[in-house]
Structure 1
Amino acid sequence: MASTRPVPFARTVIGPEARSAVDRVLESGWVTTGQEAIEFERELADYVGASRGVAVSSCTAGLELALRALGLPRDARVLMSTDTFCGAAGAIAHAGLTPVLVDVDPRTAVPTEENIRAAVREVGGVSAMVVVHLGGHPVDVEAAAAAAGLGLDHVIEDAAHALGTEVGARRVGSISRATCFSFYATKNLAIGEGGMVTTSDEDFADTLVRTRLHGMSRDAWRRYRPGAGWRYDVADDGLKANLTDVQAAIGRAQLRRFGADQARREAIAARYDAQLAGLPSITLPPRPVEGRHAWHLYAVRVQPGFPVPRDELIELLSARGIGTSVHFIPLHRLTWHVEHCVVPATGLPGADEVFEGTVSLPFDQNLTDDDVDEVCAALWQIGGIR
């Protein structure tokens, strides 16, 4: 039976302030990387407490650039969770490095310190690690680095879900060597596409600025301004991975409303919690013991006692007009990743357990209370309780 109130998995809302900012950029005659991107970099770095921000075309591109900038030997091993988006492992491989997959805690869906130590022992050590704040759940980055036998200068954070996450009292973006954010259409700060790398290492930031645009010593903004020189050098191997001023204008406007959007996300998560807490055989997302969850996702776990398995639940919700997703198919279940990543001989049972039951419910700051109530009512009905 179709719902009387269709609820999509996520909606992107670009408000009037952002639209006006885009018009201003279009009228300026300069639409690629320029002053708008520079201001966005400064504002986002200030927000997370980092010295520098480097705007890039995507979080994935940011991960690759940051990993390249570590200067590791070719094929050096980089530890990462198997329970994350496939692009992170691709970034490691494209940087000439080898992804080593680590298992996760079935409760939190992120690696424990023991998971990390076990994975490192099996491969005889790693040179770096990518820490993923899955769904916005904070990971103790310092503890994870210590478990891997690494300093924070060899840790890159995948914070695609984690703008607004806090580890203890520190905002994600100011803890490790570099942190990579995403502004994809479904993210907490949505532009449509784009990303940012934040760091407090000035030399590291300068390397990223060059390598995001083919390794050129001076970008177009610095070459085409009145009185500027046209010459440049290429001393680094780079990518085409810059962010445009059009995108940056949207991002700056979205950042100004980010605090209110995050407060709404927290309220939506609390409403889901209150209505689903008593639903048998559905486990709610864990709350962090310390720090702050960014609530990029609201992922519940369907336990064996529920009347229908996870995949059938997704189909039944879809028939009611309710969109869902699964975050994520573990990397060791994907063909390319099995061939190009180091997978422990003992398998990754924690991630397998998480995957079999996980379903991400509709979640963004634009959901109304009625939307949340509609989703919860459908879950209770399918559960055969109401």
Structure 2
Amino acid sequence: MTTRINAVPRAVPAEEVEVPFADCYITTAAQHAALRVLRSGWLTTGREVAAFEAEFAGYVGAGHAVAVSSCTQGIELALRSFGLPRGSLVLTSTMTFCGAVQAIVHAGLQPVLVDVDAGTGMPTPATVRDAVRAYGPPAAMTVVHWAGDLADVPALAEAAGLTLDQIVVDAAHALGTSAGTTPIGSQCAATCFSFYATKNLPLGEGGMVTTNDPERSRWLHQARLHGMTADAWRRYLPGGSWRYDVAEAGLKANMTDLQAAMGRAQLTHLPAWQHRRAQIAARYDTLLAAQPGIALPHRPALGTGTHAWHLYPVRLAPGIDRDEVIAELAQRRVGTSVHFIPVHQLTYFARIASVPPAGMAGADTLFGQLLSLPIHPRLTDGQIDAVCAALADATHRQFTRKGAS
């Protein structure tokens, strides 16, 4: 069953429209796939996982794909695959989800936080060089395509003094992002995707690591399941051997056949879903472009790449109380969020991560302005209009009140 978008919604007063921030839509085909696996007698990692890996690798143009339990575990495994000495420095953006930095810590490495440009939400070569000057040459770097926007990975790697083979891409937001016409997923040592409930390919949980290196793929397949040389599927097949070895430390980070079967079905809908996300972003652009106090999201320069539109993060002008706007939108039954609290502002990471002495002015400025609006494929034009009307009312009310005072 495909997702049907009502292009001409019935006229509904804005105050009567409910707009959830996210929508974990599981298609009828994915539900049937899950039922097929439940009836099969085999639920954990098996033939469905192998098929999903092959199909996903083909979708993003990578040589290999390794299905894992989450993008966070994928990042940790990818970093472990480098074989770096404990405590090695790993650069990462401060404007990211805390789990992406936890992955560096759990891999036994030292996160060095990098400031971002307040307009793009991503590090620049200059902020990378600031971090390197403060703490010395890194052994690796994780790069996030924040919100689905395109990060300039080669430029950031060069600024860090690294090759692309020393880069792990955090593509939790970037399934659908492309550099030029090339999908994200095959340019660096490893690229890590998320299938969390809010993501562009939602399964509830799960992730995928892609790579062009067959030896890294082999290592990741073993490391995701305790480092065992043979998983249960191969051991229990007719003629399979119960014997296995463990040559080095691994994690319990495998994907189940239940998730993979759903993922295979969901993947067939992804092109249509991405098309709808682009339509939604364009409608937001049109309705919000002339609204005072609201800056539209950054996007790749014309011809350089494609935005996946995982998020639609607007920036509110200085002086607008974001929390007041969020509260007013909530009263109008419009769900919103903020992506993210900069990592250096979180107590644990402020204590253990390396933060350049110059500080995080770009991230601190951006964080105070950010507001993520609803964007998911089943959002109707009427709901988008309601979001924009509610946002315009909330910001206008603040402008008017400040002007009167």
Normalising by the smaller structure, the TM-score range is over 0.9
Deviations 1:291-326 (A, max 9, x none): 000000000001125xx4111111111111111000
Q: Does 2:106 match 1:94?
A: yes
Q: Does 2:44 match 1:24?
A: no
CA distance in 1 between partners of 2:153 and 2:288 (Å): 31
Instruction: Choose from 178, 186, 191 the match for 1:174.
Output: 186
Deviations 1:344-377 (A, max 9, x none): 1111000001100100001111101111011001
Contact 1:3/1:322 (<8 A) preserved: no
Give the match for residue 8 of structure 2. none
Q: Provide the alpha-carbon RMSD of the alignment.
A: 1.3
CA distance in 2 between partners of 1:383 and 1:119 (Å): 36
Give the match for residue 243 of structure 1. 255
CA distance in 2 between partners of 1:321 and 1:330 (Å): 27
1:116-155 equivalence runs, <5 A: 116-155=128-167
Give the match for residue 222 of structure 2. 210
Shift of 1:169: 2.5
1:25-44 equivalence runs, <5 A: 25-44=37-56
The amino acid that maps onto 2:315 is R
Contact 1:210/1:236 (<8 A) preserved: no
Name the SS for the 1:7 alignment partner.
Answer: coil
Instruction: Choose from 372, 376, 384 the match for 1:360.
Output: 372
Length-normalised TM-score, structure 2: 0.93
CA distance in 1 between partners of 2:14 and 2:299 (Å): 32
CA distance in 2 between partners of 1:44 and 1:142 (Å): 24
Instruction: Choose from 293, 299, 310 the match for 1:281.
Output: 293
The amino acid that maps onto 1:44 is F
Shift of 1:383: 2.6
CA distance in 2 between partners of 1:142 and 1:161 (Å): 19
CA distance in 1 between partners of 2:60 and 2:105 (Å): 28
Name the SS for the 2:252 alignment partner.
Answer: coil
CA distance in 2 between partners of 1:332 and 1:143 (Å): 24
CA distance in 1 between partners of 2:179 and 2:325 (Å): 33
Instruction: Choose from 294, 301, 313 the match for 2:315.
Output: 301
Give the match for residue 6 of structure 2. none
Give the match for residue 292 of structure 1. 306
Contact 1:50/1:199 (<8 A) preserved: yes
Give the match for residue 275 of structure 2. 263
Contact 1:2/1:319 (<8 A) preserved: no
Shift of 1:143: 1.4
Q: Which runs of 4+ in 1 moved over 6 A?
A: none
Name the SS for the 1:30 alignment partner.
Answer: coil
Q: How many residues align?
A: 384
Shift of 1:204: 0.5
Instruction: Choose from 197, 204, 208 the match for 1:185.
Output: 197
CA distance in 2 between partners of 1:132 and 1:15 (Å): 28
Contact 1:72/1:127 (<8 A) preserved: yes
CA distance in 1 between partners of 2:113 and 2:298 (Å): 23
Contact 2:312/2:372 (<8 A) preserved: yes
Length-normalised TM-score, structure 1: 0.98
> Bigger CA drift: 167-176 or 293-302?
167-176
CA distance in 2 between partners of 1:273 and 1:178 (Å): 33
Give the match for residue 115 of structure 1. 127
Give the match for residue 338 of structure 2. 326
Shift of 1:2: 9.1
Name the SS for the 1:47 alignment partner.
Answer: helix
> Bigger CA drift: 115-124 or 351-360?
115-124
Name the SS for the 1:99 alignment partner.
Answer: strand
Instruction: Choose from 13, 27, 45 the match for 2:57.
Output: 45
